Structure 1
Amino acid sequence: MIQIVVNLLLRAVVVLTGTALATFALLWHAPGDPALAIAMARHNAVAPTEVIDLVRSEAGLDAGFSAAFQAWIAPLLVGDFGQSSVTGRDVWPELVTAISYTVPLALAALFVGLVVSVPLALIATRNPGGWLDRGAVAVASIGVAIPAFWLGLLLILLFAVQLGWLPAMGARTSAHMILPALTLGLGVAASLTRILRSGILEARDQAFLPALRRRGVIHRDIERDHVAPHAAIPFVTVLGLELAFLLEGLVVVEVIFARPGLASFLVSAIGARDFPKVQAAVLVTAVVFVVVNLLIDLLYRTLDPRIGEHDA
């Protein structure tokens, strides 16, 4: 098991290193002059040539790609995310503030997805092919097809404009989180419902289950000991992949609902070509993906130890 964890960690290091290098290269080679973009963001106006040259020198843009990347990555290895090229303030406190808005919203959306998907899938599989099953599949299919931005606008029109029950913009109170969480969570629930329903039905078709019933094993024990672990593997897979949906959807949803968070932090940093802030946001997102994938890999081996036999 230790060898498996070490291999997973080594893969994680490779992924994070590649992510840092790729992001820096994309920003470096993007069209336009990054020094001009930083100067305009810093002064809110077109800056003279001497100011642009000064910004280029301060940001290390005149040192070449390799030297600039090394100058950025070296402090990061000891936990220093550097200072913003635009404001001059430390990146880490601003990033933590943005994350403090984004993480609760992501967790609330994931909670909504689980609360809706698990009961809906269980109800659907009670009578496969029945009207409840067909209805659940139809609802899930529609939920997958609806874009997050469109669903968000519909919820704003219904609950904020027409009914006036919930606030539409901002993040001042917990009530401001309800509509964004529903927008993201319903999309997650649609995908999870479909995969959990399919997993349960497939698990119930395993060839050895009739033999267990003939031996007198009760239905509850079969469902708990054999059906649930078999159905959990694809469910866990999609649950991990839904994190990508949440992070992608958060960018759109935070803009629609005018919420401060990682999305606004990243969008403003990209517009200003603020290298330290963009890199910090991308790396934190990559770390989240890596950690979730590590946990999923370990959970796989807990649910089915045979999955990791070839890695031992």
Structure 2
Amino acid sequence: MIHAIFGLGLRATVVLAGTAIATFALLWHAPGDPALAIAMARYDVVVTADVIDIVRAEAGLDGGFWPAFQGWIGPLLTGDFGRSSVTGRPVWPDLVTALSYTFPLALLGLLIGMGIAVPLAVVAARHKGGWPDRLAVALASLGAAIPAYWLGLLLILLFAVKLAWLPAVGARTTAHMVLPALTLGLGAAAALTRILRSGILEARLQPFLPAFERRGVSAGGIARNHVTPHAAIPVVTVFGLELAFLLEGAVMIEVIFSRPGLGSFLVQAIGARDFPKVQAVVILTALLFVTINLLIDLLYHTIDPRIGDHDA
């Protein structure tokens, strides 16, 4: 088990290092002068060449790619995300503030998705081949086919514009979270329904289940002690990764619904070529994926110890 955790940690380090280098390289080689973008975002006026040169020196952009990268990655290794190239403020407090809006939205979206997916999948698996099963599969396929941004606009038109039941933009009240969370949740429900349905059906086809039935084990006992653990493995995978994907999806949804959070934080940072802010979001997202993958592997071992023994 310790050997497996060490291997996962090593792979996580490689992923994070590669992500940091790739993102910094993309920002560095993007069209336009990053010093000009930073200066215009900082002063919001037409800037002179002298001001651009000063900004370039302050941002560490005058020494080449690798010196600039080392100047950013060095403090990061000690937990310092640096200061914004535009405002001069520390990046970490602003990032935490943005995340405080995005994480509850993603979590609520995941809960909505699970609340829809679990009953749909159970009913579909119980009536395999029947009309409830076909309806559940059709709804899941439809949900997977609709882009999140288009679904968000449809919900705005229906519930905010036509019915005037819910607010469409902002984050002032709890009601402002309903439409964006519903947009995320409906998309998550599509993936979760299909995976959960398949897991339940596969678990029910295990060859040892008829033996338990012949021994007089109740249907509830079989479902609780044997079907559920087998069906839980793919669900754990999708549940963890779906939360990470919803955090990413929330970035786009926040832009559509004009909510504060990682969406506006990232869009503004990219437009201003604010390297520390963009890198902070990317590193945080990569770290989230890596951590979730590690937790999923540990849960695998808890659900089925044979998986951990095999990996060891």
Q: Normalized against structure 2, the TM-score is what?
A: 0.97
> Displacement of 1:311 after TM fit?
3.2
SS class of match (1:125): helix
2:275 pairs with 1:283: no
> Displacement of 1:220 after TM fit?
0.8
Bigger drift between 240-249 and 143-152 goes to: 240-249
SS class of match (2:63): coil
CA deviation profile, 1:168-188 (whole Å, cap 9, x unmatched) = 110011111010000000110
2:62 pairs with 1:62: yes
Aligned to 2:242: 242
Bigger drift between 134-143 and 240-249 goes to: 240-249
Aligned to 1:126: 126
2:236 pairs with 1:223: no
The amino acid that maps onto 1:3 is H
Aligned to 1:300: 300
Gapped regions of structure 1 (runs ≥ 5): none
Percent identity of the aligned residues? 73
2:43 pairs with 1:43: yes
CA deviation profile, 1:194-230 (whole Å, cap 9, x unmatched) = 1111111111111111111111111111111111111
> Displacement of 1:244 after TM fit?
4.3
Tell me the distance in 2 between the aligned counterparts of 1:241 and 1:118. 17
SS class of match (2:199): helix
Tell me the distance in 1 between the aligned counterparts of 2:50 and 2:265. 29
SS class of match (2:60): coil
Tell me the distance in 2 between the aligned counterparts of 1:295 and 1:41. 40
> Displacement of 1:126 after TM fit?
1.7
Between the two proteins, the alignment pairs up a number of residues equal to: 312
CA deviation profile, 1:115-143 (whole Å, cap 9, x unmatched) = 11111111112221111111111111111
SS class of match (1:207): coil
> Displacement of 1:242 after TM fit?
1.7
The amino acid that maps onto 1:46 is V
Tell me the distance in 2 between the aligned counterparts of 1:160 and 1:66. 49
The amino acid that maps onto 1:88 is G
> Displacement of 1:97 after TM fit?
0.9
Aligned to 2:23: 23
- Check conservation: 2:102, 2:247, Cα contact below 8 A: no
Aligned to 1:163: 163
- Check conservation: 2:102, 2:251, Cα contact below 8 A: no
After superposition, where does 1:193-212 map in structure 2 within 5 Å? 193-212=193-212
Tell me the distance in 2 between the aligned counterparts of 1:106 and 1:216. 44
The amino acid that maps onto 1:189 is A
Aligned to 2:274: 274
Tell me the distance in 2 between the aligned counterparts of 1:96 and 1:205. 46
Gapped regions of structure 2 (runs ≥ 5): none
Aligned to 2:176: 176
SS class of match (2:197): helix
Q: Normalized against structure 1, the TM-score is what?
A: 0.97
The amino acid that maps onto 1:26 is L
SS class of match (2:32): coil
Bigger drift between 173-182 and 6-15 goes to: 6-15
Bigger drift between 124-133 and 185-194 goes to: 124-133
> Displacement of 1:67 after TM fit?
1.1
Tell me the distance in 1 between the aligned counterparts of 2:150 and 2:191. 17
2:110 pairs with 1:106: no
> Displacement of 1:6 after TM fit?
2.1
> Displacement of 1:63 after TM fit?
1.1
Tell me the distance in 1 between the aligned counterparts of 2:252 and 2:68. 31
- Check conservation: 2:300, 2:307, Cα contact below 8 A: yes
